Structure formats: C-alpha cells, structure tokens
Chain A
C-alpha cells in the first residue's frame, strides 16, 4: 500500500497540477487578504460584516477601487479575516476535485489502473491507498491554505485582522471530519463514474446544484429546515468557525464520520464489483 502511495507521489511531483493547486491557493489568499474579503461560492456567507444590511450593501456597492474598499471595510472595525477565510473553506472543494482527478480519475481515464491491478496489488489495497493519499494530500491543502492565509494576512493587514495560531488550529481540526466526508463522497463518485469528463461534469456543479435544489424545495413547500442550514456542508463549515457549541461540533463530527463510512462502503463495493476495461 505504501508503495502505491510512494509511486503516486512520484508521479504527481512530475506533473504540473499539484503546483498549480498551490499557486491557486496563494493567489486566492493574497486576493482575499488585499480585498479584506473571504470571498465565497454558493449561498452561505461567513463574513463578519453584515452584508444583508441595506445601508452596508449600498456603501459596499458605491466603492470604485480596492483601496476604497479596504478603507470601508476597516471603517467597520477590526475582525479576524482568517476566520472568515477558513469558514469559506468550501472554496477548496474545487481543489479537492483536482486532487481526486490527478490521483484517481487519471488511472481510469488512461486505463493505467489495469497495470497496477494486474500485477502489483489487490483492489482493496488499491482503494485504500488511493483514499489515504487523497485524504492526506487534501489535509495538506487545508493546512497550507489556512496557515498560508494566516501568514499572508498578518503581513498585509497586520495583527488586528488575524486570529491566534491556536484558533487557526482549532478551526482546522473541527472542520476536518466534514471535509473528509466530502472527499469520501468525491472518491465514491470517482469510482462510480471513472472517466474524468463524467466525474467533472457531475462534481463541479454538484455542491451548488445541491444547495439550490434543496433550498428551492424548502421555499416551495415552506418546509422548516433548520437542519439544512445547520448541517449542509457549506453552512456547517461556516458555523464551525463561529463559536459553535460542543454539541454542534460533535454532531458535525459524527455527520462527517457517517459520510466517510457511507460513501466509502458504496465506493468500495462498486469498485470491487466492477470489471476493469
């Protein structure tokens, strides 16, 4: 199993994708630090500034330059920008897709998986090696994102806009089970769809489409849906960095563990049954 992981690390180091991922993280972090804004995808907003307030919105929309925007944001007072950025770690979802593609989907797309399975390793060990490597690399990406932003933010905005290193660690740890759950879901999808093109077609819009469909149903049928805003992946990541209760952290952790077990059982079962072409 270790040899599969080592060989994949060798292969990844020879490609460009992982370096592009690192570059994207750095660029996003610099943009967020300079713009004093975490930026987000999807529906949830994790900023410390109340952007639902119409007066604030009018002020934000009236600024014409980044320097004016920075002045405006600073006028609202200081706030831990790094906490906002970590709250928006759902942005990393797209980088997790890249990781799954380079580690797993390329094997299926190039059909090089048959070389590995035919003479080196069993399907079970293959599945576990790939899963562990994807989880490992994703953890490094999360850590790199969180701590590199901490440093960049400290350099650009100073201490007034940063949390403590311990807090960054706490935010990271409480988010990880849910992140692992979502990565397990991506791995499961990769083993189901196998071809990179189909995997990308499904996973790229998935997280937004899921939110839109569920919120659409909630609004249409006037369903009381606190559970959704508490435990949906994107909302949960924001909630987990905003002084959550211990019971909320435990529930999110259990939800993450459930995702990990559920998606890996399905993924492995389907992979085991699949004939490799």
Chain B
C-alpha cells in the first residue's frame, strides 16, 4: 500500500455567503503527479492555500504526511510550493532571494541554490535583480524556490503561466525527472488541460468548490477515447450479448443506462443489429470520441 502524502476530509472554506471549497475529499499518494483542473475561481488555489496553511479552513480536516492539520510545522518543511504569482523581494537578486529562504529553512549546503537555479535555467542570470525579471523568469524562480531543499511534496499553482513553449516543455521534463528519480509527489494545478495531461497521472476536476470527478490517466484516456455509446434500459442483457455474440470484453458500463464499447468502431450498424435481434431495447446508439476540452466541458455541464 502506498504512503499517503495528503488526505482531505470534508474540507470546506466559506467567505461569508460564498463557498470557495465545498466538502472536498481527496487523497494523494506518494509518487503521484496529481493534476487539479478547474476554471478560474473553481477553488484550486483555495485548496492549495489551506494545505499550505496560508488560509484558514472553515470546516473539515486534512492530514499532511500523516500529521493532522493542527500541527503542521514539521510536515511543512517537507513541502515546496509556488502559490499564485511568484513573490520575491524586488531589490534582491535571484540568488539572494533564494539564499534568504535557504537561511530561513536552515539549509546549510548553499550548493542547493545553484542546483535549483540550474534546473530552471536561471544560473546565467542569478545575479540579476528580481525586479528586472520577465514574467517567465519570475515563474522559474518561483519553481526554483519550490524545489530547493529537495522537498518530498511539491505544490504548484499554475506554474507554467507566462512561460514560452520551450520553457513549458523543459519544466515538464524537470517535474517528471523529479517525480521519477527522486519520487517527489507533485500537486499541480492548471487550466491548460493538454499540459496537465502530459504531466499528471491522476486528475481531479473541481468546479465551484466541489470535486466533480477524480480519475487516473488510464481512466481519462478511456473516457475520452473513441467508442460506441449504447444507451439501454437492460444493461445486464446488453453486456451478455456483447460478450457472447460480439465476442469482446472491451467495453465499460458507465451507469445503469450506458455502456461504452471500444471495439466495432467502424461497424456500429452490426452492434445495433445484434442487440436488436436479442430484443434489447436500445434507446440510442452512436459513435463518440471527445477531446480533453470537450470532456471537461461536458463534465462542467453535467455538474450544473
């Protein structure tokens, strides 16, 4: 069984009449790259801020490294994070800014600063003042801050904002490398679905403070892949016919009225005829296959 890094239980945050986070339950295991998907204002940042103790929760609880949320001082030392925009002292250089936090975290080996700067390709400009940095460079420094001190868990809120395509690709590789080589767990949010898809192995879709779907990458692939959607009022009989007459097990029961068949993609007519012959009442049958964006949109529509 995998170690649990973060577990939330009915976590809720309210601002007067507005509920920013509504009874959120999620579990992140060691080694996961957990992608948080949601529109602006969906509650992604609020969740991250509560986990990092920047914001007080209204109700519910969470545990970080198996430590309850009322005493996280030690657990927080294993966490590196970049929440919202990177914030540093404008008159200090990149190196000085990281050294400031290195002293704060009690890091003795200052080589870690250079290593972090090298990982985000800022070594060449480490002596430039933060206020002269472009948005992308600021973002990189924020990521360097998050990965400095070899944390076990990195929380990244929209880390690729402002980065150019090459920068995005490089950072994706860096995150993957950190995850694969050092087994660092990552919680990352973004509204660029394709980027998150390229990086994460688990996804959580959040809307209006509520989690509307949690799934693994395999499940997401399955949900988005091309298939024949069969809507019927007799799922059990339809499943039997698919297995015995159509001789395939490559299907998935979605709910009490829907089956998704991943074979016979160019032969929906045969599927229809076979099911009809066996007196199965077919309410609808059609081919589908959706992009990540469409899948996301559909989920949000359903949530409404």
- In the bound complex, residues from chain A placing their C-beta under 8 Å from that of B106 are 3
A99-119 Cβ-contact flags toward B at 8 Å (1 or 0): 000000010001110111111
- A276 near B54 (CB under 8 angstroms)? yes
- Which of A11, A118, A121 is within 8 Å of B100, CB to CB? A11
* A7 and B76 alpha carbons, distance in the complex (Å): 18
B52 CB–A CB distance under 8 Å? yes
- A111 near B85 (CB under 8 angstroms)? yes
- B87 near A119 (CB under 8 angstroms)? no
Give residues 78-93 of B contacting A (CB, 8 Å).
Answer: 79-81, 83-85, 87-92
- B89 near A10 (CB under 8 angstroms)? no
A78 CB–B CB distance under 8 Å? no
Give residues 83-111 of B contacting A (CB, 8 Å).
Answer: 83-85, 87-92, 96, 99-101, 103-106
- A7 near B103 (CB under 8 angstroms)? yes
- In the bound complex, residues from chain A placing their C-beta under 8 Å from that of B83 are 114, 118
- B100 near A10 (CB under 8 angstroms)? yes
- Closest-CB distance, A148 to chain B (whole angstroms): 27
- In the bound complex, residues from chain A placing their C-beta under 8 Å from that of B250 are none
- B76 near A275 (CB under 8 angstroms)? no
- Which of A6, A10, A118 is within 8 Å of B81, CB to CB? A118
Take A7-B100, A112-B87 as given contacts and tell me if A119 and B79 are in contact as well, using a CB distance cutoff of 8 Å.
yes
- In the bound complex, residues from chain B placing their C-beta under 8 Å from that of A7 are 100-101, 103-104
Give residues 158-216 of B contacting A (CB, 8 Å).
Answer: none
Which B-chain residue is minimally distant from A125 (CB atoms)? B73
Scoring A10, A123, A125 by chain B CB atoms within 10 A of each residue's CB, the highest score goes to A10
* A15 and B92 alpha carbons, distance in the complex (Å): 8
- Which of B54, B88, B91, B103 is within 8 Å of A118, CB to CB? B54
- Closest-CB distance, A277 to chain B (whole angstroms): 8
B256 CB–A CB distance under 8 Å? no
- B73 near A118 (CB under 8 angstroms)? no
B53 CB–A CB distance under 8 Å? yes
- A110 near B88 (CB under 8 angstroms)? yes
- B105 near A3 (CB under 8 angstroms)? yes
Which A-chain residue is minimally distant from B145 (CB atoms)? A115
* A130 and B155 alpha carbons, distance in the complex (Å): 26
- Which of A110, A111, A115 is within 8 Å of B101, CB to CB? A115
- B88 near A119 (CB under 8 angstroms)? no
A4 CB–B CB distance under 8 Å? yes
- In the bound complex, residues from chain B placing their C-beta under 8 Å from that of A116 are 101, 104
- B96 near A118 (CB under 8 angstroms)? no
B49 CB–A CB distance under 8 Å? yes
Which A-chain residue is minimally distant from B146 (CB atoms)? A119
- In the bound complex, residues from chain A placing their C-beta under 8 Å from that of B96 are 11, 14
- Which of B73, B79, B87, B103 is within 8 Å of A6, CB to CB? B103
- In the bound complex, residues from chain A placing their C-beta under 8 Å from that of B99 are 10
Take A111-B85, A112-B87, A112-B88 as given contacts and tell me if A119 and B77 are in contact as well, using a CB distance cutoff of 8 Å.
yes
- Which of B55, B73, B100 is within 8 Å of A122, CB to CB? B73
Scoring A6, A119, A273 by chain B CB atoms within 10 A of each residue's CB, the highest score goes to A119
- B81 near A112 (CB under 8 angstroms)? no
Take A3-B106, A7-B103 as given contacts and tell me if A15 and B49 are in contact as well, using a CB distance cutoff of 8 Å.
no
Take A3-B104, A115-B101 as given contacts and tell me if A275 and B54 are in contact as well, using a CB distance cutoff of 8 Å.
yes
* A115 and B52 alpha carbons, distance in the complex (Å): 10
- B87 near A111 (CB under 8 angstroms)? yes
- A117 near B52 (CB under 8 angstroms)? yes
B56 CB–A CB distance under 8 Å? yes
- B52 near A118 (CB under 8 angstroms)? yes
- B73 near A121 (CB under 8 angstroms)? yes
A140 CB–B CB distance under 8 Å? no
* A110 and B89 alpha carbons, distance in the complex (Å): 6
Which A-chain residue is minimally distant from B53 (CB atoms)? A117
- B54 near A119 (CB under 8 angstroms)? no
- In the bound complex, residues from chain B placing their C-beta under 8 Å from that of A6 are 103-104
Scoring B96, B104, B145 by chain A CB atoms within 10 A of each residue's CB, the highest score goes to B104
* A275 and B54 alpha carbons, distance in the complex (Å): 6
A265-276 Cβ-contact flags toward B at 8 Å (1 or 0): 000000001011
- Footprint of A on B, CB under 8 Å? 49, 52-56, 72-73, 76-77, 79-81, 83-85, 87-92, 96, 99-101, 103-106, 145, 151, 155
- Beyond the given A7-B101, A11-B96, please list 12 additional residue pairs across the A-B interface where CB-CB is below 8 A: A3-B104, A3-B105, A11-B92, A15-B91, A110-B88, A111-B84, A117-B52, A118-B54, A118-B155, A119-B79, A121-B73, A276-B54
- Footprint of B on A, CB under 8 Å? 3-4, 6-7, 10-11, 14-15, 106, 110-112, 114-123, 125, 273, 275-276
7 intermolecular pairs with C-beta atoms under 8 Å apart: A3-B106, A112-B88, A114-B83, A118-B79, A119-B80, A119-B105, A120-B77
